[in-house]
Structure 1
Amino acid sequence: MSAPLRLGTRRSALALAQSQQLADALTRTSGREVLLVPIVSEGDVNRASLSQLGGRGVFANGLREALAAGECDLLVHSLKDLPTAQPDGLVIAATPAREDARDVVITRDGTPLSELPQGSVVGTGSPRRIAQVLRRNHRVQVRDLRGNVDSRLSRVRDGDLDAVVLAAAGLSRLGGDLGGLVAEPLGLDEWPTAPGQGSLAVETRTDAASDLLEALGRLDDLPTRIEITAERAVLATLDAGCHAPVGAHASLSDGDLRIRALVYALDGAHRIGMDRTVRLEPGYARTAGSGDGAIAADGADPIARAARTGEDVAHRLLERGAADLVPRESTP
């Protein structure tokens, strides 16, 4: 009988929940037991603001070190927390089907963000969300916020904050119980979220056993892979960290790939946007276990096409002045 697979994960309730969901799916595709290996990341112990931590992979570096050292066999990340540069020796072997990519505003009584009165306090630690909140309602105050989902919801419930902004996917993976609070979903056209939001990334070593790579490949969702490739190409070409004030969302529908990207000034006063749709070649197919992409039967590569489209969107944003708004990537 094969030894259990060791899945490295952060220790937060959300990380453990999404890792267990992935572990159960991997057991089904591989026939092997999967054990969770909790690992502490820099982001879990460093309580500095996300704007100060920047794009240095603070939620991923410790996990990746453990993977490279052989302390676990694979990792599960929230893709939005990963820097765009892929470390040597590691590969994102699967991106399962993405959940809801939207942000939601959580309040006590359901008052929309745009209608919160003067002096209302909204909690978020994300520079992108800060800029979007201030652009949606300049009357509110934004308070820097770290902590797990339950603690953030409690601060609204207890009246310390009037609202918080959270990822819909994270709430769903934790069961969606708001304890009497009310969620306002925010449309992706005017409120694009972090590149990769709602998607998980399953990472392993490039020299992992072929049966593990094949089992992970069966968990890979091609439409999700195409969408997140385009989004992360925008971020990489802008040379911006994963916590920069950049929103990018790509959607694939009937072969059309649409990318909507916005770059914000930190105070929300200005933004530069780009919206582009391209046609992908029909009939593409992925070889099971290929992990990193897809090659169409007629030779076209939708992953490469998505990357080029994201890069083009970013170049056009830069031509329009985005470089003056975006802090540069701080990943070594």
Structure 2
Amino acid sequence: MRKIVVGTRQSALALTQTGQVVDQLRELCRRLEIECEFELRKIVTKGDRILDVTLSKVGGKGLFVKEIEQALMDGEIDMAVHSMKDMPWELPEGLVIGAVPFREDPRDCLITREAKSLEDLPHGAKVGTSSLRRSSQLQHLRPDLHIESIRGNIDSRLKKLDTEGFDAILLAAAGLHRIGWQDRISAYLSPEQSLPAVGQGALCIQCRGNDEFTLDLLKHYNDEKTAIAVAAERSFLGKLNGGCQVPIGAYATLQEEDGNSVIAMTGMVGSPDGKQMLKETMTGTDPELLGKELAEALIARGAADILAVVRG
């Protein structure tokens, strides 16, 4: 019997999605007739400890994954379940992405007190988000809105909607779906309104590159279409040297054309105030190449200058 220790953040959402992954892996092991047992290991990350500062001011990459990756490298855990949007472009030496499961809804969503849509929010409404990407696109669409930072887990943010005078808050739909709170969603924002973060809605199952047993198991858990789309988005992120603390968004989908899979991807870079908003859409068949070419197209239009100002 092989024991696999699975590392996860300790938030309710992280534990829920990791539990779902482990249940699916248990079923996979049963079908493959592999004897495995799984143990969850809760790990606190820097991003979990610092809740009174906006993500963009905390600085550094991998705010929600570094400590978990260290546990992997130290052999304390055998695999880790991350939200893909938390993953930096560069992985530590010796670690790999073993699987990218089927993607949940990638869209951003609005949770409001009264309004039924973004357009329905009153003039000057107070909206909470911890994401520069979301606030940039929101202010581009509605420059009249008053955007304030809101940190914490899903539960605490929903409580702040009622206790701190917010008219609405913005969250990733995937998290609410996974935790079973989709009835709280007032409206979904289309990718045209708010382009998702790179990898939003997808999970990353990370392991050591020399752990052949775990790698062999995870290859059966990988969703190829999701993995290809996410690879294109992450290539875009890597070329821009971005992370979850800068206003960068990308969303790729696979389409069938004449029997061949074609990747269509839209990328954006915006200024924090939403006054500058660069977007491009391109298609291709090589995810790595498409991501780089899309990023280069935005760089040619001034994306690097916008990001340089954001990074200070």
Q: Which TM-score band (shorter chain)?
A: over 0.9
* Aligned residue in 1 for 2:42: 38
What is the total number of aligned residue pairs between the two structures?
A: 301
State the AA in 2 paired with 1:144.
Answer: S
Q: Deviations over 1:140-168 (max 9, x none)?
A: 11111111101111222346211110101
* Aligned residue in 2 for 1:248: 250
**Separation in structure 1 between the aligned mates of residue 242 and residue 218 of structure 2, nearest angstrom:** 29
- Tell me whether 1:274 sits opposite 2:277 in the alignment: no
Structure 1 position 176, deviation (Å): 2.2
Residues 182 and 227 of structure 1: CA distance in aligned 2, closer, same or farther (over 3 Å) = closer
**Separation in structure 2 between the aligned mates of residue 328 and residue 207 of structure 1, nearest angstrom:** 40
* Aligned residue in 2 for 1:17: 16
* Aligned residue in 1 for 2:215: 213
**Separation in structure 2 between the aligned mates of residue 71 and residue 316 of structure 1, nearest angstrom:** 42
- Tell me whether 1:194 sits opposite 2:193 in the alignment: no
Q: Which runs of 5+ in 2 are unaligned?
A: 30-34
**Separation in structure 2 between the aligned mates of residue 122 and residue 190 of structure 1, nearest angstrom:** 16
**Separation in structure 2 between the aligned mates of residue 24 and residue 110 of structure 1, nearest angstrom:** 37
Residues 110 and 321 of structure 1: CA distance in aligned 2, closer, same or farther (over 3 Å) = same
The two structures have a TM-score, normalised by structure 2, of: 0.92
Conserved in 2, the CA contact under 8 Å of 1:98 and 1:198? yes
State the AA in 1 paired with 2:289.
Answer: R
Structure 1 position 100, deviation (Å): 0.5
State the AA in 2 paired with 1:261.
Answer: G
> Secondary structure of 1:22's match?
helix
Conserved in 2, the CA contact under 8 Å of 1:110 and 1:184? no
> Whose helix proportion is higher, 1 or 2?
2
> Secondary structure of 2:307's match?
coil
State the AA in 2 paired with 1:221.
Answer: D
Seq. identity, %? 38
State the AA in 1 paired with 2:241.
Answer: D
Q: Which runs of 5+ in 1 are unaligned?
A: 281-304
> Secondary structure of 1:33's match?
strand
- Tell me whether 1:263 sits opposite 2:269 in the alignment: yes
Conserved in 2, the CA contact under 8 Å of 1:235 and 1:242? no
Residues 16 and 327 of structure 1: CA distance in aligned 2, closer, same or farther (over 3 Å) = farther
**Separation in structure 2 between the aligned mates of residue 190 and residue 148 of structure 1, nearest angstrom:** 24
Q: Deviations over 1:272-291 (max 9, x none)?
A: 1111122x3xxxxxxxxxxx
Q: Which runs of 4+ in 1 moved over 3 A?
A: 327-330
Deviation larger for 81-90 or 115-124: 115-124
Q: Deviations over 1:209-247 (max 9, x none)?
A: x22211111110110111011111111101222321011
**Separation in structure 2 between the aligned mates of residue 265 and residue 105 of structure 1, nearest angstrom:** 21
Structure 1 position 327, deviation (Å): 4.2
Conserved in 2, the CA contact under 8 Å of 1:97 and 1:199? yes
RMSD: 1.6
The two structures have a TM-score, normalised by structure 1, of: 0.87
Structure 1 position 329, deviation (Å): 10
**Separation in structure 2 between the aligned mates of residue 34 and residue 127 of structure 1, nearest angstrom:** 37
